[in-house]
Structure 1
Amino acid sequence: MLRPAIPENESQRLKALQDANILYTPTQEEFDNITQLASFICKTPVSLISLVGEHEQWFKSKYGTDLCTSDRDISFCSHAILNPEELMEVQDTRLDKRFEDNPFVLSENDPVLYYAGMPLKDVNKMALGTLCVIDTKPNKLDQDQRKALKSLAKQVEILLELNRKNDYLENVKKELNDHNAMLKDFAGVVSHDMKMPLANMIITADILKAKFGEKLGEEGLSYLKNLKQAGLRLSGYINGILDHYESDSIAASNNEEFDVNHLLEEIIDLLNITEDCIINLPEENIIISSNRAALEQIFLNLLGNSLKYNDKPKIKIDIEFSQTPDFYYFSVKDNGIGIPKEKEDDIFKLFTIVAKSDRSGNKGNGIGLSTVKRLVSNLGGNLKMKSEVGKGTRFNFSIRRKL
């Protein structure tokens, strides 16, 4: 028996096998289907997907045997990977000097007298192992069988690469989730810590104006006004960040039954509208079962934007509702300033601002629509927008109904 040689690129090959993250993983049906098919096509009792490690070979999939591993020194596949582009076929192992006294060949029970293995390579052409078929008697593949075994080996390579990419994406997803969690915690802590000092700053500005307004004069009062407005803007920004990062927990709250129109009327009261404004609610009072807190947050943002970003003497907002067995559908249409085409793709991204200022001259923070998008997505729905500059915007969104 001749021990298999060590490939010249052995260190790189072992690194590639490690990066594939497939060794000693649980069985998978897609791999088992291939070994079963290989055995059927080649008319052999045994088929294996073998991965050659540093000291042993391990079978990712096996058909016709209970064997899980074997020493690399007596492995047939360790010889096959020395020529990664060629199918190695040994028609009678007893007549081959490499295997004539191999323990598998000399075995009294089910000796390995025939072997055919096609090396399995990664995207960098590193041989990881083989797809092989084994028989207990001498054998020979015909041309169609050889072609089929090579094709099946290619399918194994595709599966190995898909597994590697899926593992990579899962790791990236985990890292992103960890970073997002850290960012969420940081934003929450910083925002909460800033709220009280800001409130004190705003109150102090009012006190200074009340007590010393006459002494400060117009210029001093102007400074106080700017100070208070800056504090209010920053406070709104902080509240927006907190709402954005709390949207996941809001969307996870329990469903309840409620009247859609009653919810909308409460939201309109919260907005404390002082402008000349008409808001048309859905014609019928409909009772739905959904996440009331999340829907309230969505409408607060959408209606708030329709009110703020409107340059018409009379603001008009139309709210529509419909439903199917699977979804609730809502629409909010206004006659506001509209959104330019070049900004439509970015409007739902965090901190994206469309207008320089709103109806009152204040600058937005670009958080509201991102929060709406996040909430709608968490509720199993979709959010779409149609807008025309100078004429208005329509937001359509859906929420999946809970069965």
Structure 2
Amino acid sequence: MVELRRLNSHLQARNEELEAFAHTVAHQLKNSSSLVTMFGYILKEYVPLPEAMQLYLDGIIQSSRKMNNIINELQLLAGLRKGAIKLNPLNMGEIVAEARQRLIYNIEERQAQIIVPDEWPAAWGYGPWVEEIWVNYIGNAIKYGGEPPRVELGATIQSAEFVRFWVRDNGPGLLPEKQDQIFKPFIRYNQIKLEGYGLGLSIVQHIVTKLGGQVGVESQGLPGQGSIFMFTLPYELEEP
């Protein structure tokens, strides 16, 4: 028994060392990729380049953004393994605004129309994680939306205990037989247009489960009718 405790303690210490090392490496990689993206946009905006060079520059920017997204997803996935977090009342308007700001280049590039409600129901959660949910859902709606994408956000009080938040797109939709697979790691529901490595929706499911809610998708798989991706969070009843 003493030997087992010693081995467990040693293993825990090594795991903590590995987590600290991974965090440091991820931070350095993220800083480097962010600089590449920033300088790429500066060149694109202020330096006249031949058309062929512009294509190469666009490829550099796109790849650095993809790298940054992968690092963010892996960091978030690692963070979800840690202990329970405290739920707080959410200012959903501010959280959605931050998510939209992070996607500003995607929105402008696709000329996407983003529709948000004037007011949001009160709910409980953890702000940084909920922001990641919106970034994933809105980002996917832009990628797979129509031409141009039309992305509508909303919320419905589902019961006395939960609020259902949702994102509706105008893309090709998702066939019923694919819907059960979409939240699994590394599953891509559009092999042609998807950027990334299929971690996003899996992370969303982990986050929502950790916050006490559920995820889901509704779609008839018909072109133009799109899909509705949703998640639930605990409902905060207003004080009388």
Equivalent-residue separation in structure 2 for 1:207 and 1:268 (angstroms): 21
Task: For residue 370 of structure 1, report the CA deviation from its aligned partner.
Answer: 1.0
Q: Is the 8 A contact 1:290 1:401 kept in 2?
A: no
In the alignment, which residue of structure 2 is the partner of 1:320? 155
The correspondence of residues 128-207 of structure 1 with structure 2, limited to 5 A, is 188-202=23-37
The correspondence of residues 278-297 of structure 1 with structure 2, limited to 5 A, is 278-281=114-117, 285-297=120-132
Given residue 191 of structure 1, which amino acid in structure 2 is its aligned partner? A
The correspondence of residues 1-400 of structure 1 with structure 2, limited to 5 A, is 188-202=23-37, 218-248=51-81, 252-272=84-104, 273-274=107-108, 275-281=111-117, 285-313=120-148, 315-358=150-193, 363-389=195-221, 390=223, 391-400=225-234
Task: For residue 193 of structure 1, report the CA deviation from its aligned partner.
Answer: 3.6
Task: For residue 378 of structure 1, report the CA deviation from its aligned partner.
Answer: 0.5
Residues 206/270 of structure 1: CA separation in 2 closer, same or farther (3 Å cut): closer
Residues 195/276 of structure 1: CA separation in 2 closer, same or farther (3 Å cut): closer
More deviation, 184-193/386-395: 184-193
Equivalent-residue separation in structure 2 for 1:256 and 1:234 (angstroms): 31
Equivalent-residue separation in structure 2 for 1:324 and 1:276 (angstroms): 32
Task: For residue 233 of structure 1, report the CA deviation from its aligned partner.
Answer: 1.9
Task: For residue 369 of structure 1, report the CA deviation from its aligned partner.
Answer: 0.8
Residues 402/181 of structure 1: CA separation in 2 closer, same or farther (3 Å cut): farther
* Cα distance per residue 1:46-91 (max 9 Å; x no partner): xxxxxxxxxxxxxxxxxxxxxxxxxxxxxxxxxxxxxxxxxxxxxx
The CA RMSD over aligned residues, in Å, is 3.9
Residues 202/276 of structure 1: CA separation in 2 closer, same or farther (3 Å cut): closer
Equivalent-residue separation in structure 2 for 1:268 and 1:245 (angstroms): 24
Partner of 1:287, secondary structure, is coil
Partner of 2:219, secondary structure, is strand
* Cα distance per residue 1:212-271 (max 9 Å; x no partner): 966xx554554444334322322222222223323455x944333344445434543443
Q: Is the 8 A contact 1:301 1:369 kept in 2?
A: yes
Structure 1 residue runs without a partner (length 5+): 1-176
Residues 402/336 of structure 1: CA separation in 2 closer, same or farther (3 Å cut): same
Residues 196/402 of structure 1: CA separation in 2 closer, same or farther (3 Å cut): same
Identity %: 28
Equivalent-residue separation in structure 2 for 1:234 and 1:193 (angstroms): 12
| Count of residues in correspondence between the two structures | 220
Residues 293/363 of structure 1: CA separation in 2 closer, same or farther (3 Å cut): closer
Equivalent-residue separation in structure 2 for 1:228 and 1:182 (angstroms): 33
Task: For residue 365 of structure 1, report the CA deviation from its aligned partner.
Answer: 2.7
Q: Is the 8 A contact 1:209 1:224 kept in 2?
A: yes
Equivalent-residue separation in structure 2 for 1:270 and 1:225 (angstroms): 18
Residues 231/298 of structure 1: CA separation in 2 closer, same or farther (3 Å cut): closer
Partner of 2:213, secondary structure, is coil
Equivalent-residue separation in structure 1 for 2:47 and 2:147 (angstroms): 38
Q: Is the 8 A contact 1:259 1:286 kept in 2?
A: no
TM value normalised by structure 1: 0.45
Given residue 299 of structure 1, which amino acid in structure 2 is its aligned partner? W
Partner of 2:232, secondary structure, is strand
Residues 183/330 of structure 1: CA separation in 2 closer, same or farther (3 Å cut): farther
Partner of 2:189, secondary structure, is coil
Structure 2 residue runs without a partner (length 5+): 1-11
TM value normalised by structure 2: 0.69
Residues 317/374 of structure 1: CA separation in 2 closer, same or farther (3 Å cut): same
Residues 299/229 of structure 1: CA separation in 2 closer, same or farther (3 Å cut): closer
Residues 202/286 of structure 1: CA separation in 2 closer, same or farther (3 Å cut): closer
Q: Which has the larger radius of gyration?
A: 1
Q: Is the 8 A contact 2:77 2:203 kept in 1?
A: yes
